[in-house]
Structure 1
Amino acid sequence: MKFNIKKKTSNIFLLIASFVIVSLILWNTNNFFKKFKEEERLKMEIWATAQSEFQSLSADAEIGNLPLKVFQNNTSTPMILMNRDGSIKTHNIDKEFQKDTAYLKEKMRKFQSENSPITMEYKGEELATLYYGNSEVLNKLKYYPIALLLIIFLFGAVIFFFFKTNKASEQNKLWAGMAKETAHQIGTPLTSLLGWNELLKTENINPEITKEIEKDIDRLQTITERFSKIGSLPKLDEYDIVAETKNAYDYLKRRSSKLINFTFEAKVEHFPVLLNKSLYNWTIENLVKNGIDAMKGKGSIALEIVPNGNYVHILITDTGHGIPKSDFQSIFNPGVTSKKRGWGLGLSLVKRIVEEYHNGKVKVLSSNKQGTIMQISLRAKN
C-alpha cells in the first residue's frame, strides 16, 4: 500500500514538474518574441527616420553614410511605403507583385494587422506612411511554441506507450506463468484420478460410469495441455475443420442444459486447415459458453461452417441480449466482461489463438437484441 502511495506521489510530482517546465519554456519564448518584435519596431522607426531625411534632401545634396547603411542592412522585413502623393514603393517584396496594386493594398491591410503603421515626418510635415510586416525570423519564431508543444507531446506519447507496452508484456508473462503453474498443479491429482478409475474398472460397477469418468479425465488432460501451451508458440497440424468443430460442439452439447437448443450445419463435408487442435477446441468452447451466458442458460445456439474461396467461416449464433456496436472491438480486450464473476480473459484468449497463432480473424459479425453472431475465419491449408 505504501509503495502504491509513493508511486502515485512520484507520478503527480513528475506531472507537476513537467507542467512547470513547459510553462516556463512557453513564458520565456513569449517574452523573447515580444522583445524581438520591439527591437524590430525600433529598427523600422530608425529606417523611417533615415528615409524621411533622405526624402527631404535636395537633388544635389550628398547622402550621408548612415542613411545608406540603414537602407542596406534592412533585407528581411517586408515594407510598403505610401507617399503623400499616393505613389507606392516596396522593399523586400517579390518583384512579380511590386506593380500589382490590389495585391499591395491587401498586403498593407495584413501588415497593419501585424504592426501599427509608422508615419514619416520631417519638420512637422507628413511625408509618407510605412507599412511593414513581420520578418521571416519573427514568423518562424511565432510557431516555435506550437512546435515545442508538439515535440513534448510526441515525446510524452512515446514514453507512455513504452511503459504501457512494458506493463502489458509483464502482465502477459505473469498470465503465462500462472497458466503453466496451473497445468503443473493439475497434473498431480489427474494422475491419481487415472489410477482410481482403473481401480473402479475392476469393481462390479456400471461400465458407463467409468467410461464417462474417462471422458472427463480426457477433458482435464486437454485443459492441462491448453494451459501448458500459453506463452509458447503452438504446433499446427493439418485437421478437418468440420470434424474438429463438430467434436468440440458435441462435447459442449452433451454437458449443457436441456433448455439450450443446439444446431449444427456444415455447408462443406471436409475443409483441411492448419490447427492446434487443443487451442481451437478451447476457442469454440469459449464462444459457445459466452453465447449460453448471454442467453442466461435458455435459448438457441447455432453453429454453421461456410466455405468462402480459400477461407472458411465458422459462425456461432446465440439468442442472447446482444452486444452494443460500440463494444464490438473492446470486448476482445483483456479484463472486459459483462459478467459479475470472471476476469474477462476468454475473448482475449480467443483473439490471440485465432489471430496470432492461426493467422485467422475473429470478430462480431452482427449483434442486436435478438442475438449475436460471432465469426471465425481461417485459411485453407495450401
Structure 2
Amino acid sequence: MAHDIKNPISVISMSLENLRELYGVDESKQKQFDKVERSIDVIIHQIDDVLNFVREQPLEISKIKFSEIIRELLDSIKISNEIKIIIPKNDIEISCDKNQILICLNNLITNGIQAIRDKGEIQIRVSEQKDNVIIQVQDSGKGVSKENIEKIFEPLFTTKQKGTGLGLSSVVAIIDSHHGKISVTSPPTIFTITLPKTTDKT
C-alpha cells in the first residue's frame, strides 16, 4: 500500500528534477520549482504520518550508537542553509529499534523546522540517567502555548494548516512500545524522550 501511494509522488519528484535541469539558472522558474518541491515534501510527510500511525510492527531491537542514528537522520531530512542543527558531542549506545527511533526523531526535527519557520537552531542532546537514556530535541522557535501543550500528543490535534495531527501520536506509540516516555516543555520547546537502556522485543 505504501508503495502504491508513494510511487506516483516519486514520479512527480523525478519529473521536477528534470525540469530544474531543463530550465537551468532561470531564477523565477527555480523559485516555482522550490514551491512545488516543498509541497511534495508536505504530502510525503503527511502520508508517512498516517502510515506510521496505523502500522503496527514488532520491534527489531539492537544495540546501536546514537551517533549512527543521528547520521542517518540528517541524511534523510532536507535542511535549508538558514537552519543550524546542533548535534551532541558525546556518544551513547542505545538498545532500540533503530528505524522506529528514526521515525520519532524525524518527526520531532521536522516539527522543529516548521516551528522556527526554516530559520534558526535545533539542538539534539543525549545523556544517561541511571537505567535510562535521555534524548532531547530543542528548537529556537517562539514556543507552544500551555493550552496546546496539554493536547499536543492527542491524535488528530494540530495547529498546522496542512498537518495531520498524527505525527506526535505515532511518536508516543513508538516510545510506549519501547517502554519509554516522552514529554514536552515550552518555551523553549523541548521534547524529552526517556528510554530504558535495555528494551525487550515486544
The TM-score normalised by the length of structure 2 is 0.70
1:377 aligns with 2:194: yes
2:56 is paired with a residue whose SS is coil
Aligned length: 165
- Give the Cα separation in 1 of the matches to 2:117 and 2:150: 23
The within-5 A match list for 1:159-238 is: 181=1, 183-186=2-5, 227=51, 230-238=54-62
CA displacement at 1:228 relative to structure 2: 7.9
Secondary structure at the counterpart of residue 111 of structure 2: helix
Q: Distance in 2 between matches of 1:344 and 1:227?
A: 13
Matched residue, 1:335 = 156
1:262 to 46, 61, 85: 85
The one of the two structures with greater contact order (alpha-carbon pairs below 8 A, sep at least 6) is 2
Name the Cα RMSD after superposition.
Answer: 2.9
**Structure in which a larger fraction of residues adopt helix:** 1
Q: TM-score, normalised by structure 1?
A: 0.39
Residues 232 and 328 of structure 1: CA distance in aligned 2, closer, same or farther (over 3 Å): same
- Aligned identity (percent) is 28
Contact 2:53–2:167 (CA under 8 A) maintained in structure 1: no
Where structure 2 has 5 or more consecutive residues not aligned to the other structure, the ranges are 15-43
2:38 is matched with: none
Q: Deviations over 1:7-50 (max 9, x none)?
A: xxxxxxxxxxxxxxxxxxxxxxxxxxxxxxxxxxxxxxxxxxxx
Equivalence map 1:262-301=2 (5 Å): 262-267=85-90, 269-273=91-95, 275-301=96-122
1:293 and 1:189, CA in 2 relative to 1: closer, same or farther beyond 3 A?
A: closer
Q: What is the alpha-carbon distance in structure 1 between the residues aligned to residue 109 and residue 56 of structure 2?
A: 25
User: Is 2:67 the partner of 1:243?
Assistant: yes
CA–CA distance in structure 2, aligned partners of residues 337 and 228 of structure 1: 16
If you compute each CA radius of gyration, which structure gives the higher value, 1 or 2? 1
Structure 1 residue 191, shift from structure 2 partner: 11
In 2, the alpha carbon distance for the partners of 1:354 and 1:308 equals 17
Distance 1:241 1:377, change over 3 A: farther
Change (3 A) 1:333 1:244: farther
Partner-residue secondary structure (3-state), 2:144: coil
Return the alpha-carbon distance in structure 1 between the equivalents of residues 166 and 181 of structure 2: 18
CA deviations over 1:288-341 (Å, ceiling 9, x no partner): 010111111110011011111110111101001101223323100011111111
What SS does the corresponding residue of 2:73 show, helix, strand or coil? helix
Query: CA-to-partner distance for each residue in 1:160-179, whole Å, 9 max, x for gaps?
Result: xxxxxxxxxxxxxxxxxxxx
Q: Deviations over 1:329-368 (max 9, x none)?
A: 310001111111121111111111111x21111110x212
